[in-house]
Amino acid sequence: MVPTNSEAADQLKALDPLDGGLKAYLAEADSDPKVKTSKINDLDSTSHVNQKFTPVHLPKISVFSGDHKVKPGEISFDSWKYEVSCLLQEGTYPVTSIAPAVRRSLRGQAAEIARFLGPQATIKQILTKLEQVYGTVESGAVLLQQVYLSKQEPHEIASTFGLRLQLLAFKCRERGGITSDAIDQTLKTIFWQGLHDESMKNALRHKYECIRSFDDVIKSVRTIEQETRECRAHMAEGVKKEKPLHKPAQTHQQAPAVPQNGNAQGGDISAALVAIMERLERLEQGGGTHDKKKAPPKKGSFNCFRCGQAGHIARGCRNEPTPEWTQRQLNGKGTLPGGKQ
């Protein structure tokens, strides 16, 4: 007789998994296929109450899109491949967690390539396919030739040139173009030949032969560059401090000197008296209050406009005027433009 759903539920409640009741219940269900189907369905409908799911933490992998020009927030294929290889080798995360993280890190064309492989594709299959599309295709011999032809660019500092040369040599080593034992000596020779900065060569020459590792060469180059920058900054700061300040423009008329044996008050009075005497003298020579607008009198002999005699001016002249002067006064044309020679 097949039990009803309520009877199966009552039987499940009475079972205790700790004392083997669940095992006996399943053994009883195996004796009759109909009973087995009914009891297993009832067991599945009630077992989800106490079931617990552990959340899976996925590792974070940098984004790779496959674009020729690496965008901000993305990395190159070699760097992306290195991250995935490290995750697989460390063993911190299971492969079932690394696979979805790899798919999530792909963007653009790279994500489309992974999608065409299908959801059942393994990490190895994805890496192999992306290596065929975005990996290095040059052989080790071609990369070694690029290493030997490397030169320092016009606006490239020495340390940047050395780092670029070292990365190219590492890629050549991965392709079998150079061995690990010969890489240091090769990099030292090529770096020295391709270095165009003569000041860097002069500073590095005395200890270049003593350095065996190329990493130590790069460290020495960076130290020299740092010292050069600090020296230039110090010199620029010193020149800025020694630069003279702008002095105010000096007037044409300088104030009279204060007598050395007099006090400050007596010097001020003497300067004021001298200035007053100079102003009176200018008024007597030019007349009027607009002496600043008139040019100073020319040196030499001059004649009076009123009487025509030499040695004095028309202002204050008491001699008899000439007929020309009288005629011009009657016509209302004012004084003559100049004296007679």
pLDDT tens-digit map of 234-253: 888 777 776 655 555 554 44
Sole residue written with tokens 């669940």:
22
CA–CA dist 140, 191 (Å, integer): 19
Angle between helices 95-105 and 123-134 (to 10 degrees): 30
Q: Taking a C-beta distance cutoff of 8 angstroms, is the pair 114, 128 a contact? A: no
Q: Taking a C-beta distance cutoff of 8 angstroms, is the pair 203, 175 a contact? A: no
CA–CA dist 241, 256 (Å, integer): 34
Local confidence pLDDT in tens for the 341 residues of the chain: 555 556 655 654 555 444 455 556 556 555 655 555 554 555 455 544 455 556 668 889 999 998 888 889 899 998 999 999 999 998 888 888 899 999 999 999 999 999 999 989 999 999 999 988 898 888 888 989 999 999 989 888 999 999 999 999 998 998 888 888 889 889 998 999 898 888 888 888 887 778 888 888 899 889 888 988 888 888 887 777 766 555 555 544 454 454 455 455 556 777 777 788 888 777 777 655 554 455 555 555 667 777 877 777 777 787 777 877 777 766 665 454 554 44
What residues contact residue 256 under an 8 Å CB cut-off, 6+ apart? Answer: 270, 271, 274, 275
Partners of 64 in the β-ladder? 106
Tokens coding 35: 């009973």
